[in-house]
Amino acid sequence: ILTILWLLSNSVSAHLFQQQVEQDIKRYGQQQNWLKYDAEILIWLPNKADHLPACKDSVQYQRTTPNNAPIGRVNYLISCTQPSWKIRAHAKVKIGLEVWHAKTDINPNQILKKQNIRLQRGIISRHTQRFITSPQQLINQRAKRRIRSGKIILPSQLQQRLLVKRNDEVIIRASSGSFVVSMKGKALQDGKLGDKIYIKNLSSGNKIQAKIIASGVVETLF
């Protein structure tokens, strides 16, 4: 469910801009295996958007930092080639999502077990705040520092263990827009959560770079 709040509602593709933000969030959610979420989106377009000439080609919407999660302040460049114009716009995005929290107080150097964690809805409002949606990323991990009961557990609070080892068989997930495919690969390097490592695609034999998103699972883009 998307709650859309408009700061300015301008004539230049406001509805399409809204749709683009929704699509970017949906695509990222699919890549990260979000099962259920809701988003609050605050969209801003500059005043001059009302006075731009109509675009004879399709209007292009491009995130200025496409490698970041579309959470928090998400900046866009909106452009047209005929006639030529560009404007900058942004959306402020908050995601409501079930993420793993500490069920009990967790002490430094403690090994996390199932009884120490619980899945609970949290609000994510910064793209730099990495969070955990899979229990496989938590069980048997060692805490670096004290985590109080009820707090979201962040990867930075854990001593990361290797999720992929060299020569392991892994699942490669590749996406383009809403299209996602999976294939088998072989890890050419060790890696922890979030690391980018080289993988051999067992179908094509090609060597590619992919990011580790879970134990034995990596993702890349077409």
In DSSP notation, 182-210 reads EEEEEESS-B-TT-EEEEEETTT--EEEE
Q: Residues 29-41: pLDDT tens digits?
A: 888 878 789 999 9
Between β-strands 37-44 and 179-187, what pairing exists: parallel, antiparallel or unpaired?
A: unpaired
Question: Does the structure show a pLDDT above 90 at 193?
Answer: no
Phi and psi based region of residue 96 (left: phi greater than 0; alpha: psi -120 to 50; beta: remaining): beta
C-alpha–C-alpha distance, residues 202 and 208, integer Å? 11
Between β-strands 207-214 and 196-201, what pairing exists: parallel, antiparallel or unpaired?
A: antiparallel
Residue 128 one-letter amino acid: T
**pLDDT number for residue 221:** 65
In three-state secondary structure terms, 177 is: coil
| pLDDT band, residue 96 (cuts 50/70/90) | very high
**pLDDT number for residue 10:** 43
Question: Does the structure show a pLDDT above 60 at 9?
Answer: no
Give the residue, 27 or 2, on which the prediction is more confident. 27
Between β-strands 179-187 and 196-201, what pairing exists: parallel, antiparallel or unpaired?
A: antiparallel
Tell me the two tokens of residue 194.
């979030």
Question: Does the structure show a pLDDT above 60 at 126?
Answer: yes
If you write DSSP's letter for every residue of 119-144 in order, what string do you get?
EEEEEE--TT------GGGTTT-EES
**pLDDT number for residue 12:** 58
Q: What percent of the chain has pLDDT over 90?
A: 52
Question: Which DSSP letter does residue 168 get?
Answer: -
**pLDDT number for residue 177:** 63
Q: Is the peptide bond before 155 cis (omega within 30 degrees of 0)?
A: no
Mean pLDDT of 152-175: 88
| pLDDT band, residue 8 (cuts 50/70/90) | very low
